[in-house]
Amino acid sequence: MKGYLIAALFSIIATLGITSCRPTASNGDATRTRQEEKRIKTPARFNRDSAYSYVRRQLAFGPRVSGTEGNRLCREYLVNELRRHGAQNVNVQTGEVTAFNGDRLPIGNIMASYKPEIHDRILLLAHYDTRPWCDSDQNEENRLKPVLGANDGGSGVAVLLEVARHLNETEPPVGVDILLVDAEDYGQASGFSTHDTSWCLGTQYWVENMPYPADSLPRYAVLLDMVGGMDAKFHREYFSDQNASKLVDKVWSVAARSGYENRFINKSGGAVVDDHIFLNDAGIPAIDIIESKNESTGTFAPTWHTTDDTLENIDPSSLEAAGQTVLNLIYNEIRCMK
């Protein structure tokens, strides 16, 4: 993925108010409410080994660069897996986009729904394509090779496939849409800006041809990107906080109450050009769960855009931290009737 803008732009207040459908507790109930809020329902247990196997299965197609056979075969596999896990309205939005270097890329964005009859919905997304070049590799001889994309491309998709398996087994309280986007990682490696449109081409195309009516947008969207790195820590991404800070508060609170406060760090990370920016522009509050402040690099994981982005560098416990948090977020939602 994408452009990393700044290691940390501003320090962000650790906790802002979290929206809730519940009335505020009276003083007499405050202690009990705080105790209840420390606990969280976990009706679905995320299987880290299953998610890891989904990463492995994607890698069997080789690099999944947009417009290649590996990309097409992986897309077919993902469509079949979503259908196998009971998703409805599984569709591939096809189109063509132009990359920064003039390449014309055929793309296919995959979308699937659970409980499509429910008006109140949330959107989960990840990108399944991989970068055409290992342009951050220390070895110059490797820089024109395509990235295998175990973490950057494989991990977010793997988490969402495991989430889909649970959505099929345990009915969610709200409608859930899953979007797997193409052509995220074909962007220009230099000259980042706050709105670098050379990245996230599939999401930009999806936004321009959005399947939602203007009055029926999802309540919010959660993007998962590079969530499988070794001992990955997820800091609060800058643009997520700028555009959807209450949602960041909510997700990081769910993570802490789920036992992952050592993974979801309630401090500012970096500013990342990623798919969530274009969803926010389209009116969908969206945040990015991403490792953006690695201890050894200060930014992304050391495998980012290198030949080392392989299965051996995927941490199943990182997949679990992201995946269980998303499951607990879903199953603790309260449907808002309309």
CATH of segment(s) 3-38+46-331: 3.40.630.10
Give mean pLDDT, residues 272-284: 97
Banded pLDDT at 2 (limits 50, 70, 90): low
pLDDT score recorded for residue 12: 33
Average pLDDT taken over every residue of the chain: 90
296: exposed, middle or buried (C-beta count within 10 Å: 0-12, 13-18, 19+)?
Answer: exposed
Q: Average the pLDDT over each of 4-13, 38-47, 90-99 and give the range with the smallest value.
A: 4-13
Phi, psi of 9 (to 5 degrees): -85, -50
Total-model pTM: 0.90
How confident is the model over 205-217, as pLDDT tens digits?
Answer: 999 999 998 889 9
pLDDT score recorded for residue 196: 87
Give mean pLDDT, residues 152-171: 98
Better-predicted residue by pLDDT, 222 or 40: 222
pLDDT score recorded for residue 192: 55
Give mean pLDDT, residues 217-232: 98
- The full DSSP string for 138-197 is SSGGGTTSPP--IIIIIIHHHHHHHHHHHHHHS--SSEEEEEEESSSS---SS---TT-T
Is the confidence at residue 110, as pLDDT, over 50?
yes
Q: What whole-number percentage of the chain has pLDDT above 90?
A: 80
d(CA 314, CA 297): 17
How confident is the model over 175-215, as pLDDT tens digits?
Answer: 999 999 999 999 998 655 556 899 999 999 999 999 998 88
How confident is the model over 15-59, as pLDDT tens digits?
Answer: 333 333 333 333 444 443 444 456 787 889 999 999 999 999 999
The strand order across the sheet containing 104-114 reads 88-98, 104-114, 175-181, 121-127, 221-225, 286-290
Domain boundaries, the chain: 3-38+46-331
Strand bridging mode 104-114 / 175-181: antiparallel
